[in-house]
Amino acid sequence: MSADHFVLKDIIRPNIWALQPYRCARDDYQSGILLDANENSYGHSIAPTKARDNSNYTNGTGNGNDQDAALTDHLAAALHRYPDPSHPQIKEAYAKLRGVAGIENVFLGVGSDEVIDLLFRVSCVPGKDKALICPPTYGMYSVCAQINDIGMVKVPQDTTGGRFTVQVDKVLEETAKDPSIKLVFLCSPGNPTGTAVSLDIIENILQSPLYKGLVVVDEAYIDFTQASHPNTPVSATTLLPKYPNLVVLQTMSKGFGLAAIRLGFAFTSPELNQILSNTKAPYNISAPTAILATQALSEASLKIMRSKAAQILKGRQFLLDAFSKFPQDLGPYVGGLDANFIMVPVLNRETGKPDNSRAERVYQAMAESQGVVVRFRGKELGCVGCLRVTVGTEEENETLLARLRTVFDQIE
Ligand SMILES: Cc1ncc(COP(=O)(O)O)c(C=O)c1O
């Protein structure tokens, strides 16, 4: 099995294919007296903070503050320089973590959101080409499509029995009819479905001559999926060696708990990686981000990441058990349990059925009078009445439950 029908050049916009990328001296030389980039030779201009003046930072107590100080010094020394344009060390560490061959397969973006946008920009001609999504799914695919003036073809998922399945035959029917579809987005596990797309489904689309574009598998929540299924491979990265038409997106925003640093990853063929690199802004990944990401990829940090993922799965089970104790107000969870959130329908107490109007009122009351913000997803396909609840800390979960109880007692 492979993708002999796939020709990258046919998927890339001609202006992007012909692009001569911006080059800087730093692409070739990164050490010595650096007088090439018009930076500020006297360094950054941030005033020292009080904490740092009188600090534990330099008192040699051997606690975590010393580490923080080292990190801060490292950061301070890097601030006045443009960052590395390509960050090979991060790519290498991340590829190793995910069992991917090498850095030529890894692209770094300002969150996976930047990569999603770039994929539209390199492959879809505005006003002409299209992308395909399988609702309910992550909202940014449609937003990026609209920003880039790209049409969207929607193939709804099968939502029978409160579960979600991508309808492969229907996807391929659409792509066969419309060769202007250049991107197919599969969110795995899905947001908001919480359901991993099976590798068989992904491979069926990758290998079908009925579709000649790129298959983008968005694995933002993969660390929770892998923790939920420790003995089964769940990531589409295992398919990369066979399929040059595959792009796998991942991020440090979820499992790694680093949403603020904005670092996303795309695994793909070296050829498409080169095209994405040619098109991105020259220094898209900042030095603070790179320094923190490098730390997050150390063995010690990965251990913490995995232990927090395990804690979150425990919290997910705790919430599921607790939700079942509100039988008049909450139905059984909808979708899957492959991520760090639960989709749960709010019921109408009289009919016992999921109720969008009540769910919306509960959502608002929780945010406005109880100070707990969840997400109302009731207008998405197959999600009537649903709130999407991120698993919190133990304390947050307890508070959520107590406040839900208050709100359910108040809202008809
Ligand atoms: C499915 C999915 N993909 C991508 C993202 C965005 O990730 P990032 O923070 O890396 O831009 C999100 C964020 O919620 C998401 O749910």
Q: Which residue out of 94, 107, 113 has the highest number of ligand 1 atoms within 8 Å of its CB and is therefore the one to mutate?
A: 113
Residue 240 phi/psi, 5-degree rounding, is -55, -45
pLDDT of residue 74: 84
Atom 13 of ligand 1: nearest residue by CA position: 220
Contact at 8 Å (CB) between 273 and 102?
Answer: no
194, 200, 201, 206 alpha-carbon torsion, rounded to 10°: 130
Q: Are strands 106-109 and 151-154 parallel, antiparallel or unpaired?
A: unpaired
From its phi and psi, is residue 340 left (phi > 0), alpha (psi between -120 and 50) or beta?
alpha
Amino acid at 82: Y
Contact at 8 Å (CB) between 403 and 389?
Answer: no
Q: Which residue out of 94, 142, 191 has the highest number of ligand 1 atoms within 8 Å of its CB and is therefore the one to mutate?
A: 191
The 10 Å Cβ neighbour count of residue 119 is: 27
3-state secondary structure of 118: helix
Atom 12 of ligand 1: nearest residue by CA position: 220
Per DSSP, 352 falls in state: -
Q: Determine the distance from the C-alpha atom of residue 167 to the mean position of all C-alpha atoms in its chain, rounded to a whole number.
A: 22
CATH T-level topology, domain 303-410: Aspartate Aminotransferase, domain 1 (3.90.1150)
The CATH code belonging to domain 8-30+80-297 is 3.40.640.10
| Å from CA of 104 to ligand 1 middle | 23
pLDDT of residue 293: 98
| Å from CA of 220 to ligand 1 middle | 6
pLDDT of residue 54: 47
| Å from CA of 49 to ligand 1 middle | 33
Cα–Cα distance for residue pair 381/343, rounded to 1 Å: 13
- Domain locations along the chain: 8-30+80-297, 303-410
pLDDT along the chain (412 residues), means of 10: 91 97 89 93 87 47 63 86 94 97 96 98 98 98 98 98 97 98 98 97 98 98 94 94 98 98 98 97 96 97 97 98 97 97 98 98 97 98 98 98 96 89
The long-range contacts involving 88-92, CB below 8 angstroms and separated by at least 24 positions, are 89/294, 90/285, 90/290, 90/293, 90/294, 90/297
C-beta 218 within 6 A of ligand 1: yes
C-beta 253 within 6 A of ligand 1: yes
Strand order in the sheet with 375-376: 341-345, 386-390, 375-376
Contact at 8 Å (CB) between 272 and 182?
Answer: no
Q: Look up residue 371 and give its two tokens.
A: 């100070």
Atom of ligand 1 nearest to the CA of 116: 4
Cα–Cα distance for residue pair 245/5, rounded to 1 Å: 10
Place of tokens 């440090």: 252
| Å from CA of 138 to ligand 1 middle | 8
